[in-house]
Amino acid sequence: MRRLCIITGALLLAGCQGFNSSGHQDSTDKKADKSLYQTSSIHASLQTHNRTADLGRAYSTAPHSSSNRQQRQQVEVEVEAKQTDLWLDLAKQMQLDVPLDHPRVVAQRKWYLKHPSYMRSVSERARPFLYLIKEEIEKRNMPMELVLLPVVESTFDPKAYSHGHAAGLWQMLQGTGKNFGLHFDSFYDGRYDVMASTRAALDYLEYLNGFFDGDWVLALAAYNSGEGRVQRAMKANRRQGKPTDYWSLSLPKETQNYVPKLLALAAILKHDSHYGMDIPALPNRPQLAVIEVEGQVDLNMAADLAGMNRGRLKELNPAYKKASTSPSRSAEILVPVAHAEGFEIAMADLPEPERAPKGQYIVRRGDSLGVIAKRHGTTVEALRQANNIRGNNIRTGQSLVLSGTYVAAAAPTASKSGSVYKVKRGDSLSAIANRFSVSINELLSWNQLANRHSLRAGQSLIVANSR
């Protein structure tokens, strides 16, 4: 019995020691685990803050998770930027091979990078027109690098004119323009028409590409110096056993730099992150609408009815030499997208005879702008605008357009201090807009009209903003 008690006591003592030893091991492991977790990103993501009444325990965001989320957001922003920036979209579509290390390309690239303000100003001039040109190139499945030709040719100035008598965005000669469908008369020069000249220039480039068996670089060189000159240079190289690619030809210095200027700029756009040139982003959507109108149209009247500045309309349509379109043909007029609907409604509402200018006047001996303006119920400034006259000089026998010198008809009696007009039979929105010197869009907005067909005789129409 005594031996049994001793054995039992020994076993109980061993059990107590084992328990204490096990408890100490657990504590040590927990301390080790705690030390490990404190240095891990998992533990850092679950740091306990002070308890709040509503949220119980609040946890900080894991540093690595925040970093990943910021990276994802940055990628999303960059992708969205590439979709919304027209320059980036154009660069993505460029396909011509560029010899980046060719000395002439390197020299032009260095020039662009040294003069970043050049492309900033060019980009601003290109803003209204670039998207329209992109669309024309896409329709024909031509290399998108061609969109850069107006940069090289005219710095995207639609009114550019060179000492060699080339004109417009694409710097076309009159003879070349005629060969590729441009129209010319005393009212209109197609080289200054952005859309017409773009189509003519692309027709010419397609012809040159075919002439040189699909070689776009030779086509570009020929656009600058003519296909005959490039062809003669190729024949000279063949006789001497030399290559006939563009880079091997003996061409005028201007042509030797012409193609590298375009290709160097294309390379900068395609590798913008590498070269780091800051070109202002442009919206990747149309800025202008092309409106087709039939018959001769007084541009000053059109601008007024569309609710836009007269000078701005002329800036966008420099092909028209006078303040009206040509009487011999229909016209395409560029207007800002925001004014397109009002302009189309105005043209649809306005009978064709009312669209044309009042007529012309032949200057007689002793005439002055003041005398003529008084005689025809207009102003000297209106005559200057209609005929592109600076100052007061006119000459006997000169033909003056009285376009744009119209005076709005006296407004019918309106109630509420002249802010409301009762529609009469035969009225149209364009006629009412003209009468009260407001735009079609304003009439539609003020009166909550769905379209121009919503007008009816006897209707009360707000014709002036009450503010």
Convert the pLDDT of each residue in 244-291 to its tens digit: 999 999 999 999 999 999 999 999 999 988 998 989 999 999 999 999
What pLDDT does residue 258 have?
98
How does pLDDT run across 4-16, given as a tens digit for each residue?
444 444 444 444 4
Which of 144, 130, 138 shows the shortest CA–CA distance to 280?
130
Indicate the pLDDT class of residue 420, thresholds 50, 70 and 90: confident
What pLDDT does residue 397 have?
81
Apex CA 270: angle with CA 267 and CA 274, to 5°?
85
Mean pLDDT of 432-454: 71
Q: Is 153 a catalytic residue?
A: yes
How does pLDDT run across 84-96, given as a tens digit for each residue?
899 999 999 999 9
pTM for this predicted structure: 0.66
Mean pLDDT of 133-157: 98
Output 13 or 45, whichever has higher pLDDT. 13
Distance from C-alpha of 443 to C-alpha of 365, rounded to nearest angstrom: 46
Mean pLDDT of 283-303: 91
- Choose, from 80, 138, 153, 227, the residue flagged as catalytic: 153
What pLDDT does residue 221 have?
98
Give CA separation, 158 vs 141, 232, 461, in Å. 24, 32, 41
Locate 42 and state its tokens: 């998992």
Distance from C-alpha of 308 to C-alpha of 317, rounded to nearest angstrom: 13
Residue 355 pLDDT exceeds 70: yes
Mean pLDDT of 355-366: 76
What pLDDT does residue 428 have?
75
Mean pLDDT of 119-136: 97
Mean pLDDT of 22-29: 39
Q: Which of the given ranges, 44-53, 384-393, 417-426, 445-454, has the highest pLDDT on average?
A: 384-393
Q: Are strands 288-293 and 188-189 parallel, antiparallel or unpaired?
A: unpaired
Mean pLDDT of 229-249: 98
How does pLDDT run across 401-410, given as a tens digit for each residue?
775 444 333 3
What pLDDT does residue 48 have?
32
Residue 464 pLDDT exceeds 80: no
Looking at the DSSP assignment, which residues form a beta bridge with residue 421?
Answer: 461
Ranges of H-type helices in 85-226: 86-93, 103-114, 116-126, 130-140, 149-154, 174-179, 194-211, 216-225
Do residues 331 and 292 lie in contact, with contact meaning Cβ atoms separated by under 8 Å? yes
Indicate the pLDDT class of residue 240, thresholds 50, 70 and 90: very high
* Mean pLDDT rounded to a whole number for the chain: 79
Percentage above 70 pLDDT, the chain: 74
Percentage above 90 pLDDT, the chain: 47
